Structures are given as C-alpha cells and as structure tokens.
A and B are shown apart, each in its own frame.
Chain A
C-alpha cells in the first residue's frame, strides 16, 4: 500500500536532515555560506523526490519551505457554504476536505499534512494547519508550492490568529468586498451634493488614498498586482455602469452609504494597524515560523493525518496505486538473485574477511575416495577456451542492500532470511527490518 512509501520518505528525509545538520559546522568552518548547504539540501531532496516517482510528492510537500499564496484569476466574492464539504479544485490534484463547522459564520477546515499543492481555497474560510494555527483567508487563494530556490515573494493575506469574536471575522470578511461598494458609494456623494463636493472630494481623496493604501498594503502581501487595479476597475465599472442606480440608492439610502463609509473607515483603521503589524514583523519570518511548526507537527502527525487523508484523497495520473508491499521479496527473478548474492557476498566479506589461505582440499562434493592426482600437463593456452554462450548474467536495477540472518540452499532452491535493508525494486525504494524470500536458481 501507499503507506509503505510514507515511512521510507520520512526516513530518507530524516537522513538528509541529519547529514546536513552535521555538516553545517564543517561548512561554516570552511567559510562556506549557509546558503550553499541549503542549496545542497534542496538539490538532494529534489533528486530524491524525482527518483522515487510521484508517490512521495505529497509527503515532500509538507517539508517544503515555500508555499506561495496567489490570488486566483477568478477573484470572486463568493462565500463558502458552511457545513458542506468543499471540493477544492487544484491545478494538479483534486482534494476533498471535510469542513468542520465550528461557528456559524466561519467555515474552517484543516489543512491536512498530506496536502498536495496547489490547492485553491475559497474566500472567507479559516485555515487550521496541522500545527493548530488558525489563519483567516479573506480572499480566495491558491496555495501552491513554489519551485525550489524561489524566494517566497507573496505572503498570505491577513493572518489573524485566533480571531476572538464573530464580529471581527464578519467585518474582516468583507474589507475588500466593501471597498468596491464604498468606491461606488463615494462618487455618488458628490453627485447629489455638489456644494459640499469639495469637502467630500477631499474626503473622497483621503478615503481613496486610504483605500489605495489598503490595497497597496494588500498588494504588498499579494503577489498579483492586478488585483487593486481590478478593484479600481470594478469600482470604476460600478461607477460608470451604475451611476443612475447609485443615484437612486444614494437618495434612498445615504445613511447606509455613510454607515458603510464609517464602517469602511473603522475597518481600514483596523486593517492598517494589522498591516502595520504585519509589516513590522517580516513576512518571511512568519512564514518560516509557520513552516517549522508545521513540519514538526507534521512529523508527529504524519501517519495519523495521512491515514485520514488516504481515505479522502483521489490521486490523478502519475501516482500509481500498485500495492507493492515492502516484503514482496518472494517472486524474485534470477537477476535479483544475482544482485542479492553479490550483496550477500559483500556482507559476508565485511563480516569475516577471508584471508583465502585455505588450501585443505576437504571438498564435501567428492564422491568416493580421493585418488592421487597424476601430474599431466597439457598446458592448453588461453586461446582455446570457449566463450560463455549463455550471457544470462546482466546487470539488474533491482538491488537489495541488507544484512542476512540466514541464507539456505538445497540443490537449487534458495531461502533467504534478511534484515535491516533497503530494496530498490522497479524504481521504488522499500526499507525493511526483516525480509523473507525464496528463489530458484
């Protein structure tokens, strides 16, 4: 089952981690930068990931240090359905996550450890990562994995851990939704009230500046710069497309508009300190903290969440679903056998280095009595020798490197009791602590 590859990947990554960490001092002593070591690590991990087909793709995403939040192209104002299980389309994988309805207005779901990026998350949901942190996603985001080496340019929007009240979520849900409305509201003010247009224009300019500040602040967080222009354009579209209805609504409800404006101001004021707060705390550091926590938690919760996930996740395409068990050593081919014999020989040699001094001819195969050897000496030279006409011995890719408990042979039937090994079979790695096999030669 796929669960077999989980521990393998975990083991390999832990090995990589240990090696890199132990090398860190040496590298520093040599005067090499830390970045070199990190590059090495990324290279190593990426090569390892590639070599083990796609089944480890999801595992490795947990430990990836980059994830990029992007605004999707369809920037929408849709609200999630609380209580429904969200089907989140992603560019590569399709995932279904259970939605835990913790509150009425806020739909939360856990970001499982075995998540495969990229994942598109609708607006207005609270993400809870494996480490327990709550992240409020105010806009629809697409969580992708950046390629190795890419600096995390974008930053998650509006991280508000552990939002205490429902009012605040509901208010922060719609800051950007409010803005186009307010953008629509603002120009309608000068329309009916021309005498105070100047003041309002000043107000409008201030608010627009503030507005633009907030989108600017957001754009510093968001990678897509087109979003504020899109907001502006939507605002303008609202302006141009709906002047008359605005007029109507303005006369009918100036107070809601002003309320909205006040609301807007209050939220902007709230948003500004938040953004200021975020700005002071470097986004990279936040990301790194999150990643570290996630990684630690993921390593602890890996199996748990993975087993949960394996029921839910659907894999597409490259990831195969062949049930290769880690102890599937039984139907070995001759080629594997050869590799194993070599491996066994290596182990044997390492254990007891034969000094190859045995000259005693105590051959157990000898039938009957040993006759004295007559010293004939035809001295056929090496020219007469015959080639092996069955080149059935070619190098194989299936290799087991392990230690042996017992290797037994009866005529041409072999039985293997192996321990503590790694088997590379059909390109995939399997790690075992015990393996039993049978083969015929």
Chain B
C-alpha cells in the first residue's frame, strides 16, 4: 500500500469526530444547571460541554446521543468520550458507554509543490471535480475508501475520512496523481 513517494509527508490530524450513546435519556436542563463548562442551546435542543484535557467539545442530546468533536487523535477521542460519560454519570444519569464510533477524521497535508488543478481534474475526470467559481479547491472522492480530498493549487490538501487509516491511504493514493500535475517552478506550461 505504501508508495515510496511520500517518505516525508506530514499528515496532520486536526479533527476527529466521534459519537457514542449513553443508552439513557438525559435531562438537558439538569446538565445545563449543574454541569461545569456547559453551554445550553435550548433553541436547538442540545447542550455543549467542553473538556479541557483532551480538547473536546461534545454536543449532548436529550436522547442520549453524544457527538464528540475536536480531538486530535482517535484515542484522544475515545478518552475524551469516556471522560464525558463519566461526567454525566457524576451528574446522576445512568450512563452506559456504548456505540462509540469515530465518524470523521479531518487531516491536512501539504505537498512540496504547487498543483495545476485544471490538469489534475482533466486527468481524473469522473473522480475529481473542480468548480473554481464555487470553491477554489478540486474535490477528489475515493469511493472505496469513503474519503474526500480537497486539493488546492498551493499544494495543500485537506482529507476527510471515516478513520485515520483511510485518510492516510487516501493521501498516498492521490499523491502520484498530484505529482503528475504539479506546477514546476520556473517553467511555463501552456494551458490547453
């Protein structure tokens, strides 16, 4: 799976989104009144609870579903989610930590070269799409990995995928394609 091109490419995970369930109904008002570091949003019907130690913001719904965002790794997300469940347990709810799942991982990556997006899109026609009027980046979706890569002309990439492994794989997959369409320095290319 490893293509030898990305020997020194840093993939930085910026966000991990995870959900879990407490298997019990949660009284948002109680959480809002007695919990610490909570923001109550009654208009939406959720409570945001922010944790410091794994820097995490959790959206808590009354049904017991909790979405945990802001973690920097999958383990961090799990630790944070458990801490959160512990917090809710201390508030008096019969919390059972269940159905923990990392839903989304967002990573950024930077290519050492600029990319010619039009060429890149032309070469990867069905998979890549580029609408410069809508968004300055070309979107490359890898279906079997369920990953989405947004390619910017500067060479920066943002990759989102269901887990970290998929994200890494996606980067490796797309690297050679990008390498083909790179904009070499001090070389003029004619735009067809």
A interface residues (Cβ-Cβ under 8 A, vs B):
338, 341-342, 345-346, 348-349, 352-363, 365-371, 373-382, 384-390, 392-393, 409, 441
Contacts and interface: CB of A to CB of B under 8 A. Distances in A.
A102 B69 CA distance: 79
B42 A354 contact: yes
Contact of B45 (A338, A345, A359): A359
Given A349-B33, A368-B104, A380-B96, A341 B85 contact: no
A373 B162 CA distance: 11
Nearest to B98: A379
A348 B62 CA distance: 17
Contact of A388 (B42, B43, B69, B87): B87
A321 B130 CA distance: 68
A352 B43 CA distance: 8
A278 to B, nearest CB: 62
Interface in B147-187: 148, 160, 162
B99 A349 contact: no
B101 A373 contact: yes
Contacts of B57: 365
Given A338-B37, A348-B40, A362-B44, 9 more contacts: A345-B40, A356-B42, A358-B61, A363-B59, A367-B15, A368-B160, A384-B82, A386-B82, A390-B53
A152 B32 CA distance: 53
Nearest to B161: A368
B40 A386 contact: no
B17 interface: yes
Nearest to A372: B103
Contact of B17 (A341, A356, A365, A376): A365
B98 A378 contact: yes
B83 A386 contact: yes
A124 B33 CA distance: 64
A345 B32 contact: yes
Contact of A365 (B43, B52, B69): B69
B91 interface: no
A367 B62 contact: no
Contacts of A367: 15, 17, 104, 106, 160
Contacts of A353: 29, 42
Nearest to B68: A365
Given A358-B61, A365-B67, A373-B103, A384 B97 contact: yes
Contacts of A385: 82-83, 85-86, 89, 97
B123 interface: no
Contact of B99 (A355, A366, A375, A386): A375
B27 A356 contact: yes
B12 interface: no
A365 B16 CA distance: 11
A135 B43 CA distance: 66
A384 B160 CA distance: 30
Contacts of A359: 45, 61-63
Contacts of B32: 345, 348-349
B98 A441 contact: no
Question: Which 3 pairs show the lowest CB-CB distances between chains A and B?
Answer: A358-B45, A354-B42, A368-B160
A356 to B, nearest CB: 4
Contacts of A409: 39
B116 interface: no
Interface in B51-104: 52-53, 57, 59, 61-63, 65, 67, 69-70, 79, 82-83, 85-87, 89, 95-101, 103-104
Contacts of B61: 358-359, 361
B52 A392 contact: yes
A411 to B, nearest CB: 10
A211 to B, nearest CB: 75
A361 to B, nearest CB: 7
A376 B99 contact: yes
B43 A370 contact: no
B38 to A, nearest CB: 7
Contacts of A378: 98-100
Contact of B146 (A341, A361, A371): A371
Contacts of B160: 367-369
B19 interface: yes
Contact of A368 (B40, B63, B106): B106
Of A354, A373, A379, A388, the most chain B CB neighbours within 10 A belong to A354
30 contacts: A345-B40, A346-B33, A348-B32, A349-B40, A352-B43, A353-B29, A354-B29, A354-B43, A355-B42, A356-B29, A358-B62, A361-B67, A363-B67, A365-B59, A365-B67, A365-B69, A365-B70, A366-B103, A368-B106, A376-B101, A377-B99, A378-B98, A380-B96, A380-B98, A382-B96, A388-B86, A388-B87, A390-B53, A393-B37, A409-B39
A381 B85 CA distance: 11
Of A358, A384, A389, the most chain B CB neighbours within 10 A belong to A358
Given A359-B61, A393-B37, A370 B42 contact: no
B28 interface: yes
A359 B38 CA distance: 19
Nearest to A367: B106
Contact of B52 (A338, A341, A390): A390
B124 interface: no
Nearest to B42: A354
